[in-house]
Structure 1
Amino acid sequence: MSSTDRPSSSPDHEPAAHQPPPAAPDRPLSRRTLGRLAAVSAGVGLTAATAPASADTAATGGRTVRERPFRAAVHRRAPRPNILFILADDLGWADLSCYGSPHIRTPHLDRLARQGVRFTDAYAGSSTCSPTRFSLYTGRFPGRTPGGLHEPIPGGSTAGLPADHPTLASLLRDAGYATALIGKWHCGYLPDHSPTKSGWDTFFGNLGGALEYYSKLGLTGEYDLYEGEVGHQDLRYYTRIITERAAEYVGRDHDRPWLLNLNFTTPHWPWIAEGDTAESARLTRLIKEGGRGVLNHRDGGSLAKYRELVEDLDRSVGEVLTALRRSGQEENTLVVFASDNGGERFSHQWPLSGEKFTLLEGGIRVPTIVRWPARIDGGAQVSHEPVYTPDWTATLLETAGARPDRAYPLDGTSLAGYLLRGEALPDRNLFWRVRGERALRRGDWKYHRDQQGRDHLFDIADDPREQADKAAREPKVLNALRTAWEETDATLLPYPKG
């Protein structure tokens, strides 16, 4: 599809920010509900140069949308779905207009949210790229495998996802699915690691954690665009290339259900938007001259440039979804959109604290949208249930009728009962560990140990910004969550010393 065929951002497709609706009139607002309303409205209650929206509506781009609490459409039935899992790279929690960005417009993702379910309390499996991808591909904590201990896997490392470890792709392939990964892999380098060694029938994309968008030079300074395990030469803008590939894949006449992991590098640094060929040439020259850390682009980027990247991501997702609709497969395709971790330098995170690399909310809470027309009602539904990356692995396996390998038990909880059958999610812990930092969420409570070794306790519903430390006031809660964290940690591999 050419650039002139790409979906427009015309007024008919303008975004609409979302707000949680009030509780039903026959049920008083609980403290938990009030806390969640406060947390979400703090993030999305304002649009650029407008007054606050009301409690049950929000206006963006001239449109007003009323959200409603999620309710499963239990009467619906459908065959096993196709699965399109779209992963953005370093996209912050409030970087989409439907999550409250005051200056970025994302009409296609906003429409996706209106057609499905938007999660306000969804989290990544880690605060960095490759560990989250480990948790998605395996459904297990990153610390279950040596490769997952790297935060993230550095360029040229020999670490990676073991080829014999069951993955979402290998388990779905065994259940009769076609499997493809397009875009960023970041779970190990050749010759030992690649998507085609871990269950994906086809792969087109980059193996490393970042690349220059035109030259395709990666963190090691080597060319990093592959088809399968063979280098593929294409010096056009990277987001265009993988968008075209993804649109072609979903538009095919498939003879069986399929899984497509579509992993954008947008809006990860370097801050190169389409058309920035002079800056691309400068960075490419510095890389070839042996410069270190060039792709981190510490001397580049801006809020305006970041907006370009995110809005291009939105248009690209729109192009793929348009191809899906035109193929006639939209109705029975389960689409999940998420980010691999919280935002970085130019992200809009309000009201959250922290960013990528930390276990504060801004480092791990991410925008997450789910749509499956055949089984999930649209109408701008919103869910405040805490969920995170390994849950989606368990959910997709159950939905597709695939069985996990008993030798590698999942750490995520399937959301299929909640999303499709109206079942309540069980009480459980959401667990995170990075080197020197720890976190665990149970209900509205979050336990956090910072890099200085200090323990904190936050009521996330009332205090999403994590400023009111309840550790001294609630010692029993603190001790219970700390003990739960330590019990889980004891089952994981230790970090290498040094």
Structure 2
Amino acid sequence: MNVKRYLLVGAMVASIPCAVAEKPNVVVIVADDMGYGDLGFTGHPHIKTPHLDALSKGGASFQHFYSPAQVCSPTRAAMMTGRMPHRHGIYSFIGGSSGNLTHLPKKEVTLPQLLRKNGYQTAIIGKWHCSLLQVQMKNDQIPSMDHYGFDYWFCSDDNAKILDKPGWLRNGKSEGAKSGLAANVVGKEAVHWLKNVRNPEKPFIQFVHFYEPHWYVEAPKEDVQDYLKAATANRSEAIYFGAITNVDREVGRITGALKELGLIDNTLILFSSDHGPAKLGKGKADRNYGTATPYRGNKYGLWDGSIHVPGIAHWPSKVKAGLNVTTPAGSIDWLPTICEVTGTALPGSLELDGQSFYSLLQGKKMLRKKPLQWHHYNTNAKNRPNPNAVLRRGDYVICGFYDPETQLRAASWKVKHIEKIKNGKLVKFALYDITKDPQQTKDIATSEPQLFKAMLKELVESHQQYQKEAVGWNGVTPVYP
């Protein structure tokens, strides 16, 4: 199957803007390390998420929504570009070292850039993680947030500390630490921008990226006590539950502000997580009680639960309440979808891996030009054996594995890892019906030989293309094939 042709066709289809009488506003809300099963509307028996449940009930809820990668930085770069990690060169999380120069390359076209050209205000509140901001501001070779398309930004590089988070920057100026929990800081700042900074005469896109429930997990004391009384005797678990409820509360604060300002009906709100939940460790401070139920896997892997995440699209004037979307889609599709609904044209030469799912929000079908797929060069000790290449078509998922003896077992990115990306070989394969077997325990390759043969060919060809096109790095400079 010609993957290049898929990309070109997808790009041409996505480049046709729709006619929109009044440009809608867009709010993109992303949680960090939140599992598919961590919310009320996805079936968690204890965690209370009334505001996200209401968004789901009042709009479209995706049953099969996916993140573009299994860790944060490559996912966030893909959300901004509609392109998979091998195209933008961010393959794993960007570690906190002051010498880490990895960044979203200057040549990449971002969603905020495109919308700003179309008259939109652009803002991001919370986690960025497509570069280290403190490094970025001291190195002219790393693009600025203005270059990436943001008129306004309020972010911190400290992605782990949740209580009294340090390192906040507002439009490049240091504001130091902010007291309280990160979710409450982000929610408050998002509302501040909506009410006090935004120009009411122009449409806007606002990215609200929470840091929770990423480790170190923290929560309001009141929520912890409530969960200890009603749901669990495990304090660490209660803290995790409370962290998600606190994020939900801030989502309610933001939607409340949109209602107060009379903006809710013409605002498309998109919600998801950057990948699946972190796996519970053995340390006393480990509070990673997230779940991908009913799917297998967690953060760092490519089992379905590693990348199968919650997905909501809420837009009262356009999206029917209670819409249940069963067609697979993902946040890799956000850029072309948002461009379509806002009437924003895409450059004709731009190769996208995502595709607009606006037709799904209208209750129509979507013929996916290119399958959802994932490729990752390493594995993690907590997930072995772990797939290195995955492709989904309809209800079916095919997984490819490298030789376990040669799999890289490092989580964070190093420049030398490009050799593994370029030279890794798939030696084992398995086929699953993800709707009937969400835990991926029954390989149906032998019982579905024709399907397996077709999907195997597609997976191998796409993985070869991934290896051929993978961007490398020479210090601060991306190296394109």
Alignment of 1:115-264 (within 5 A): 115-146=58-89, 148-149=90-91, 151-156=92-97, 157-189=100-132, 190-191=136-137, 192-207=142-157, 210-216=159-165, 223-237=166-180, 238-251=182-195, 252=198, 254-264=200-210
SS in 2 for 1:118: strand
Q: CA deviation at 1:215?
A: 4.1
1:486 matched to 2:436: no
- Count of aligned positions: 389
TM-score after normalising by structure 2: 0.77
Could you tell me how far apart the structure 2 residues matched to 1:423 and 1:355 are?
A: 30
Partner residue of 1:305?
239
Q: Which one of 248, 251, 255 corresponds to residue 314 of structure 1?
A: 248
Task: Give CA deviations for 1:137-169 in whole Å, capped at 9, x if unaligned.
Answer: 0011111022x22x1121231011023421000
- Is the alpha carbon distance of 1:487 and 1:438 closer, same or farther for their aligned partners in structure 2, counting shifts above 3 Å? same
Could you tell me how far apart the structure 2 residues matched to 1:409 and 1:427 are?
A: 13
1:334 matched to 2:277: no
Could you tell me how far apart the structure 2 residues matched to 1:349 and 1:423 are?
A: 27
CA-based RMSD of the aligned residues comes to 2.2
- Is the alpha carbon distance of 1:301 and 1:164 closer, same or farther for their aligned partners in structure 2, counting shifts above 3 Å? farther
Could you tell me how far apart the structure 2 residues matched to 1:388 and 1:235 are?
A: 33
Could you tell me how far apart the structure 1 residues matched to 2:309 and 2:254 are?
A: 21
TM-score after normalising by structure 1: 0.74
Could you tell me how far apart the structure 2 residues matched to 1:249 and 1:423 are?
A: 36
Q: Contact 1:136–1:389 (CA<8 Å) still a contact in 2?
A: yes
Q: Which one of 432, 444, 453 corresponds to residue 395 of structure 2?
A: 444
Partner residue of 2:317?
374
Task: Give CA deviations for 1:98-123 in whole Å, capped at 9, x if unaligned.
Answer: 10001101011111111101111001
Could you tell me how far apart the structure 2 residues matched to 1:242 and 1:130 are?
A: 19
Q: CA deviation at 1:193?
A: 4.5
Q: CA deviation at 1:84?
A: 0.2
Q: CA deviation at 1:472?
A: 2.3
Q: CA deviation at 1:236?
A: 1.1
Q: Contact 1:427–1:442 (CA<8 Å) still a contact in 2?
A: no
Q: Which one of 353, 359, 377 corresponds to residue 417 of structure 1?
A: 359
Could you tell me how far apart the structure 2 residues matched to 1:468 and 1:257 are?
A: 49
Q: Which one of 320, 330, 334 corresponds to residue 392 of structure 1?
A: 334
Could you tell me how far apart the structure 1 residues matched to 2:70 and 2:438 are?
A: 17
Could you tell me how far apart the structure 1 residues matched to 2:266 and 2:26 are?
A: 9
Q: Which one of 261, 265, 268 corresponds to residue 214 of structure 2?
A: 268
Could you tell me how far apart the structure 2 residues matched to 1:199 and 1:491 are?
A: 29
Task: Give CA deviations for 1:279-300 in whole Å, capped at 9, x if unaligned.
Answer: xxxxxxxxxxxxxxxxxxxxx9
Alignment of 1:9-88 (within 5 A): 79-88=22-31
Task: Give CA deviations for 1:19-56 in whole Å, capped at 9, x if unaligned.
Answer: xxxxxxxxxxxxxxxxxxxxxxxxxxxxxxxxxxxxxx
Task: Give CA deviations for 1:270-325 in whole Å, capped at 9, x if unaligned.
Answer: 0122469xxxxxxxxxxxxxxxxxxxxxxx98211100100001101001110111
Partner residue of 1:89?
32
Q: Contact 1:225–1:233 (CA<8 Å) still a contact in 2?
A: yes
Alignment of 1:288-299 (within 5 A): none
Q: Contact 1:447–1:482 (CA<8 Å) still a contact in 2?
A: yes
Structure 1 window deviating more from structure 2 (413-422 vs 357-366): it is 413-422
Q: Contact 1:187–1:193 (CA<8 Å) still a contact in 2?
A: no
Q: Which one of 430, 439, 453 corresponds to residue 372 of structure 2?
A: 430
Q: Contact 1:128–1:357 (CA<8 Å) still a contact in 2?
A: yes
Q: CA deviation at 1:421?
A: 7.1
The aligned amino acid for 2:360 is Y
Partner residue of 1:30?
none
Task: Give CA deviations for 1:318-352 in whole Å, capped at 9, x if unaligned.
Answer: 01110111000001000001000011231122221
SS in 1 for 2:239: helix
After the TM superposition, list the runs of 4 or more consecutive aligned residues in structure 1 that deviate by more than 4 angstroms.
none
SS in 1 for 2:265: coil
Q: Contact 2:60–2:361 (CA<8 Å) still a contact in 1?
A: no
SS in 1 for 2:309: coil
Could you tell me how far apart the structure 2 residues matched to 1:232 and 1:365 are?
A: 36
Could you tell me how far apart the structure 2 residues matched to 1:183 and 1:194 are?
A: 16
SS in 2 for 1:271: coil
Could you tell me how far apart the structure 1 residues matched to 2:178 and 2:124 are?
A: 20
